[in-house]
Copies of this chain bind each other. A is one copy, B any other.
Amino acid sequence: VRSVGGAAYRLPHTGSSGLADGARIPAAAVSAEDAMLMARLARRGPLSMRLVLTPRTLPDADSYNVIADLPGTDKADEIVIVSGHLDSWDLATGAHDDAVGVASAMAVLETLKRLDYRPRRTIRMIAWMNEENGTRGARGYLAAEQGNVEKHFGAIESDNGAGRPFGMRTSVGPQAMKLFTPLQAALQPLGAGVIQRQDALQTGDLSGLERAGVPSFAPLIDTSDYFDYHHTPADTLDKVDPDNLRRHVAVMTATAWFLANLEQPIGRAAVPER
């Protein structure tokens, strides 16, 4: 497959491939430049290639979600998750995918503590483990919280890089959208006032909770540069714009605070028929 990034610096994209029923076939991503070269050569006649594929699946090893709660007050048993994922592909340190998500989620708690704001519901920061290779952290969490899913009011994850946020996506039901007008007004001055509803966000870590009925939230992000870095050796800290990171923190914090204090119920996620 042709890598999804631009033809800028001949970086092949890494990642995993999957088929129905968990079957796998060998797959390789080539850089955009090499895909163009193959296309040029193929136009001249038959083309043969030699591919050396080096990825290996190593034995399982223990790893952990990292979880921190900012306890709520009168509705402390209800939970609002703010999250990103802790793992990244090993070509780089994974600044966009997904250190930005983890840092923003951590900064939600840090910001509220500095302001000495106490939410009514508990805000739970989760740095999910193993998003990239099976979402086993999210599956483990869901299994452990199976009896407590209805106490999860909503869940936020940032996992689309550090581009400028311009709003939030959510899978709340259509009937709940009118409740979000105050959040929209709070985000508007940041240039982030778009609230986009979908029947399912299907983000990596939240999709299990979403199928169980927990509405998902994710920053709506300008991803025009994201795939130039995502899953490549170039995904390093210097690619993160500090102003955009601050905007991420503001959007995540405002949304988490809003959800943690809302008087009305927002209902369950509108899970599509499958």
Chain A interface (Cβ < 8 Å from any Cβ of B)? 7-11, 33, 36-37, 92, 228, 232-234, 236-238
Given A33-B234, A237-B37, A238-B33, decide whether A9 and B11 contact each other with a Cβ distance below 8 A. Answer: yes
- Listed from nearest, the 7 A-B pairs whose CB atoms lie closest are A9-B9, A9-B234, A10-B234, A33-B236, A10-B233, A33-B238, A7-B238
Expressed in whole angstroms, the Cα–Cα distance for A55 and B205 within the complex equals 42
Distance (whole angstroms) from the CB of A35 to the closest CB of chain B: 10
Measured between beta carbons, the chain B residues less than 8 angstroms from A236 are: 10, 33, 37
Residues of B within 8 A of A234 (CB): 8-10, 33
Question: How far, in Å, is A5 (CB) from chain B's closest CB?
Answer: 9
Neighbouring B residues of A11 by C-beta, 8 Å: 9
In the bound complex, CA of A233 to CA of B37 (Å): 14
Q: What distance in Å separates the Cβ of A249 from its nearest Cβ neighbour in chain B? A: 21
Q: Which of A8, A10, A37 has the most CB of B within 10 A?
A: A10
Contacts of A228 in B (CB 8 A): 9
User: In the assembly, how many copies of this chain are there?
Assistant: 2
Distance, CA A36 to CA B239, complexed state (A): 12
Give bound CA distance, A36 to B10, whole Å. Answer: 22
In the assembled complex, 19 residue pairs joining A and B whose CB atoms fall closer than 8 Å, in A order, are A7-B238, A8-B8, A8-B9, A8-B234, A9-B9, A9-B228, A9-B232, A9-B233, A9-B234, A10-B92, A10-B232, A10-B233, A10-B234, A10-B236, A33-B236, A33-B238, A36-B238, A37-B236, A37-B237
Give the distance in Å from the alpha carbon of A92 to the alpha carbon of B34 in the complex: 10
7 more A-B contacts (CB under 8 A) besides A8-B8, A9-B9, A33-B234?
Answer: A8-B9, A9-B11, A9-B232, A10-B232, A10-B233, A10-B234, A37-B237
A29 to chain B, nearest CB (A): 15
Q: Specify which chain B residues have a CB less than 8 angstroms from the CB of A233 in the assembled complex.
A: 9-10
